[in-house]
Structure 1
């Protein structure tokens, strides 16, 4: 199991909450945003629970494409083992300068999602139920001082 060493958890959460998440279903690019419902996605792909996870760049440290692809292949094998249905997706910063592949999941149990995120060194995942806003789940204790900004309003702090 990897341990995350984050210099500024609030800054990281703010960046993740501001990121754009996208999944392509039936040729349509469907955006996901922290704090907003994912109505279009939910209409296309009904499920009891949704999540976004990646195996790329553990601990938010850039790695080579080959290392990231190898980690992704291991994640896919584990997603298959827990029976999670998935579609390729990605996260990117609003300027489009950074993009990271991942998986949009349906039907994965919260315990499996968090276990896999921790195992693959991730600082956060997205998770939500139909009709609810997309939530950012930071895999670390809540910092003592969090500014009141919309970007972190829909963030849960889960000690990893």
Structure 2
């Protein structure tokens, strides 16, 4: 497991929470947003639990496309080996300034999803149970003085 050092964890959490997320299912693009119930997605692809995870740009540092593609291929191998259903997804900065491919996965529990994300050097993932708002799970400790935000969870 990688140890992350993030200079501005609160700023990173705010950026993640404000980002736009989409998943592609059967040619349809379905949006996700932190704090919102993903009703359309859940109707289209019923599952009990959902997780958005990426292997791109570990530690929130820009990596080459080749390095990101290699990490993504390893993540796909791990998801497939576990027999998990997945659909292509991506996140995009609120201003459209960056975009990262990832995967929306069904049935991955909190412990397994956090462990997998940490192995790939990720600072956060999205996860939620069917019918509940999408939550941002920061895999870092909340910085002292950082405000609590609805639908954002930190490592305790």
Shorter-chain TM band: over 0.9
2:93 paired residue number: 93
The corresponding residue for 1:130 is 130
Does the CA-based 8 Å contact 1:82-1:112 persist in structure 2?
Answer: no
Q: TM-score, normalised by structure 1?
A: 0.94
The offset of 1:26, in angstroms, is 2.3
1:146 offset after TM fit, Å?
2.0
Name the residue aligned to 1:157: 154
**Matched ranges for 1:14-33 at <5 A:** 14-33=14-33
C-alpha RMSD over aligned residues: 1.1
SS of corresponding position for 1:140? strand
Report the alpha carbon displacement of residue 36 of structure 1 after superposing the two structures with TM. 0.4
Contact 2:25 2:88 in 1 (8 A): no
Aligned to 1:142: 142
Moved over 3 A (4+): none
User: For structure 1, which segment, 22-31 or 83-92, has the greater mean C-alpha deviation from structure 2 after superposition?
Assistant: 22-31
| Structure 1 runs not aligned, ≥5 long | none
CA distance in 2, matches of 1:99, 1:74: 20
Per-residue deviation, residues 54-109 of structure 1 (Å, max 9, x unmatched): 00000000000000000001011111122211000000012212000000010112
* Alpha-carbon distance in 2 for matches of 1:136, 1:96: 19
1:83, 1:108 within 8 Å by CA — same for their partners in 2? no
- Counterpart in 2 of 1:102? 102
DSSP 3-state at the match of 2:77:
helix
List gaps (5 residues or longer) in structure 2.
none
**In 2, Cα distance between the equivalents of 1:8 and 1:83?**
36
Is 89-98 or 37-46 further displaced after alignment? Answer: 89-98
| 3-state SS, counterpart of residue 104 of structure 1 | strand
Report how many residues are paired: 156
Shift of 1:27: 2.0
- In 1, Cα distance between equivalents of 2:146 and 2:83: 36
State how far apart, in whole Å, the 1-side matches of 2:42 and 2:147 are: 31
